[in-house]
Structure 1
Amino acid sequence: MTRRDDYSSPTGYQGKTETACEIAAAFEDSWLELYQHVNPDALPGARDLYAPVAYVQTPVTAKPKSTSKAILNFYGAPTKNLDLPDLVHQVAASLNDHGTKALLLDDITRLRMHRADDQDALDLIRAFMSMHVTLILIGVDIPGSGLLREGRHDARTGQWVLPPSRHAKVHGLEATQTERRFDLVELDHFRYDTPPQITAWVQHLAGLEDQLRLMNAPPGMLTDGHMPEYLFERTHGVVGLLERLVEDGCQEAIDTGTECLTEPLLEGIALNLSSEPGRDPNAGEIPDVPATQAAATARQAAKRPAPRRRGRNTVFDDQGPAAEAGA
């Protein structure tokens, strides 16, 4: 049975896509070397079309036609003037002709199960499972998204078991009656509560530091002193936010000539993900960004009520002739 994998995290920027793509790239290299970079099932005149791994991003508004076109666009296959059954058969033909063994569908949690079009797109994706290709779905909070709503968790194997599609056929494509099994791989952010968690965070910072090429960077620039704790406070252990902060910090260090990352320099950098292209905030792909210490202090000061001025004692005030006349 073809294996299926789900990569999930509670929020975006956890490194799901990078992790899955790194694994897929290693698999593709091994597979190509195994067959000397030649598709053993290639058609005559089509050896240059070998693609053991295909990566596709789920459309923001996913429908069966748009999902099929997104897959065909990876191969550069024609999609113009094709109806849905033709698109589905073209997808099956492209996967087979290019020798694709793994199909990565990123941002799969853009599908919303309360929409009929999205339910049809999910049925179509489940039908792809009968194409003898490993399906890898990548998304934010897959267990809570409803994509596994009809499935059940097998405690013995640790896998999610899904029943067949609701239809015997999905747009003319045979849907196998065998239950499909998914391995759910959850990626969470780093923690900073116990010594092993702190060690893992510092080791990650050390690996990141080894990749930096700042002229005045001292040893332990990201791992010594208060810096690990500061970086965790700024990013809450989210890998993508850490990379963004360090990248923007390096750009600032180069522009100013300091050529070193310090807390004062990073404190002047505000992370803003509101205009991230290609990300859907409604699908949880953009996490909450922790504020800098200066911004947090200013926000707390703004919320604090202003102190009341003490009133002046008027007991001994002279009210004047007008007050006496009125009395």
Structure 2
Amino acid sequence: MNRGNVDTEPTVQERDWNPCTKAGWFAMAEAPARNRPPSRSAEELAAMPRGQRLRYDEARALWHANLGPIRTPQLAAVFDDLGEIVGSNRQDGDKVKPAAVLDALPGLGKTTAAMAFGRAFHRDQIDLYGTQVDTADGSWQRIPVVYLGLTSNTTMRSLNAMLCRFFGLPGVNRGNADLLAHRAAECVARCKTRLIIVDDVHFLDVNRRDGREVANHFKWLANTFPVTFLFVGVGLRARGLLDEGLSGADAAFSQTARRWNVLSLQPFEVASQSGRRTWRQLLLGIERELVLSQSSRGMVAAELSDYLFARSSGHFASLMSLISRGCYRAIKTGTEALSVELLDTVRIDEAAETARGELHAALDAGLMSTKPGKTSTGRKGAA
């Protein structure tokens, strides 16, 4: 990994890209990896001039806020399944390509996983086929991936406008839904787009007319566009999106349920040996990436294992928020290490804060453990 010298670099900042536009997606997909700030001892920190120390701490704050994605077994399984679906979707244009769906609870990294897969796919396509597409009417930029984020008031027309806006087409505020759809279809074909990621699909309400129209429009897009769709959302099956809002015997007529392949991400669990090993590997991966002058081996993976599970309830987003905010506080307070005492002063999302009391009690009572090799004392034969 690149460990550039932040002592002499100008102050780094957040990368303010919008992946819902072509320029933003390309900036994200083709950006180099961040430079990991070099480790410094407490003595070296104390000797730094003020400006240099400010730049160093700023670089560490940005580094800790952007850790990952960490390739956990859950993420690896999703990548393998998505790779298989997209890689085998090589049907000719007269056939419909099955779609992939990533449906999971909030805070488990669905969007992170989808964007990481899209980024890898983008790079592979550019490496395979180059940056340009030569057609009879000229050369077009290859745009392997499109990323869209739905809103609570998405309509068929606004969805098509999002597609046109991603490609940078002029006049997206003019024209009806059909005209915009055909303009987008032309760009998809000419730019050899092969994957369209549609995020926040749970915003669609199939009990409303607009929601049903957009859900049905996805079928037309799948029939028309030579791409694989990857839909990302929360509770899509429970919201009736797979059944197109049909119920009872009518649900058997849903084409969507036959075309959408549903994948999921699960929270981390410590009820099994394999779950505890996975949790430890995750914490070891995080521990290796921290840049704190007083960090030590086992600080995260051993000393804080139970505590971090109770605080995050096994949800990846909650865990990473706690880690990044804890590191920020450790730097600002000069403690330069993570501890229970320091992390107790950091608040994260309300769902995690609400669940922590019960989990802390179970861990303290020995009814559960995050440590590999241990079994829960409250259940005989736990493995």
Same fold by TM-score greater than 0.5? yes
CA distance in structure 1 between the aligned counterparts of 2:137 and 2:144, rounded to whole angstroms: 15
1:290 aligns to what? 353
Q: Deviations over 1:59-80 (max 9, x none)?
A: 2212111211222222122202
Q: Number of paired residues?
A: 259
Whether 1:30 and 2:93 are equivalent positions in the alignment is: no
2:173 aligns to what? 80
Whether 1:90 and 2:183 are equivalent positions in the alignment is: yes
Whether 1:66 and 2:158 are equivalent positions in the alignment is: yes
What code does the residue aligned with 1:139 have?
G
Q: Partner of 1:143: helix, strand, or coil?
A: coil
What code does the residue aligned with 1:54 have?
V
Q: Deviations over 1:131-184 (max 9, x none)?
A: 1110100001222121112599xxxxxxx997458xxxxxxxxxxxxx952221
2:273 aligned to which of 190, 195, 204: 195
Is the 1:4–1:183 Cα contact (8 Å) retained in structure 2? yes
Is the 1:205–1:223 Cα contact (8 Å) retained in structure 2? yes
Whether 1:112 and 2:112 are equivalent positions in the alignment is: no
Q: Partner of 2:353: helix, strand, or coil?
A: coil
2:236 aligns to what? 142
- Per the TM alignment, residue 29 of structure 1 is displaced from its structure 2 partner at its CA by 1.4
Provide TM-score, normalisation by structure 1: 0.73
| Change beyond 3 A, Cα 1:294–1:268 | farther
What code does the residue aligned with 1:242 have?
L
- Per the TM alignment, residue 272 of structure 1 is displaced from its structure 2 partner at its CA by 4.0
Q: How does 1:136-175 map to 2 (within 5 A)?
A: 136-150=230-244, 163-164=254-255
Q: Deviations over 1:163-221 (max 9, x none)?
A: 458xxxxxxxxxxxxx9522211111111212211111111111122222112111122
Give the unaligned 5+ runs of structure 2: 1-95, 361-383
Whether 1:103 and 2:196 are equivalent positions in the alignment is: yes
Q: How does 1:1-327 map to 2 (within 5 A)?
A: 1-9=96-104, 11-39=105-133, 41=135, 43-46=137-140, 49-78=141-170, 79-130=172-223, 131-150=225-244, 163-164=254-255, 181-225=259-303, 227-272=304-349, 288-291=351-354
| Change beyond 3 A, Cα 1:294–1:190 | closer
Provide TM-score, normalisation by structure 2: 0.63
Q: Judging by fraction of residues, say which structure has more helix.
A: 2
Aligned residues: CA RMSD: 2.7
| Change beyond 3 A, Cα 1:247–1:126 | same
1:169 aligns to what? none
Q: Partner of 2:307: helix, strand, or coil?
A: helix
| Sequence identity percentage | 25
* Structure number with bigger Rg: 1
Q: Deviations over 1:214-250 (max 9, x none)?
A: 121111221113x111111111100011111111111
| Change beyond 3 A, Cα 1:205–1:132 | same
Give the unaligned 5+ runs of structure 1: 153-159, 166-178, 274-287, 298-327
CA distance in structure 2 between the aligned counterparts of 1:217 and 1:42, rounded to whole angstroms: 60
